[in-house]
Amino acid sequence: MPWRIIAVLVVILCLAPHQTARIEHTEVLTQYLHIDNTEWEYEQNDGVRPSGGEVDGATGSYRAVTAYTSYPNQTDSTPCIGAWGDDLCKLYKQGQMACASNAYPRGTRLHVEGYGTCTVLDRMNSRYPDRVDIYMGYDTPAAMQWGIRTVNVKEI
pLDDT at residue 134 greater than cutoff 90: yes
Alpha helices in 27-156 (DSSP H): 88-93, 140-146
Q: How far apart, in whole angstroms, are the C-alpha atoms of residue 10 and residue 21?
A: 11
Q: How far apart, in whole angstroms, are the C-alpha atoms of residue 104 and residue 30?
A: 26
Q: How far apart, in whole angstroms, are the C-alpha atoms of residue 69 and residue 49?
A: 28
Mean pLDDT of 114-138: 96
Per-residue confidence (pLDDT) for residue 77, from 0 to 100: 85
pLDDT (tens digit, 9 = 90+) per residue, 46-101?
Answer: 444 444 444 444 568 999 999 999 988 888 888 999 999 999 999 999 999 999 99
Q: What does the domain layout of the chain look like in residue ranges?
A: 3-51, 55-155
Per-residue confidence (pLDDT) for residue 72, from 0 to 100: 84
Mean pLDDT of 31-58: 43
pLDDT at residue 26 greater than cutoff 80: no
Q: Of how many residues is the chain composed?
A: 156
Looking at CATH, the fold of the domain delimited by 55-155 is given as: Barwin-like endoglucanases (2.40.40)
Mean pLDDT of 12-40: 39
pLDDT at residue 23 greater than cutoff 70: no
Contacts of 32 (CB under 8 A, 6+ apart): 39, 40, 41, 42, 51
Q: Is the pTM of this model over 0.95?
A: no
End-to-end CA distance of the chain: 42
Higher pLDDT, 88 or 18: 88
Higher pLDDT, 101 or 8: 101
Per-residue confidence (pLDDT) for residue 113, from 0 to 100: 96
> In the sheet where 32-35 sits, what is the strand order?
32-35, 38-43, 47-50
Per-residue confidence (pLDDT) for residue 60, from 0 to 100: 85
Q: What values do phi and psi take at 59, rounded to 5? A: -80, 135
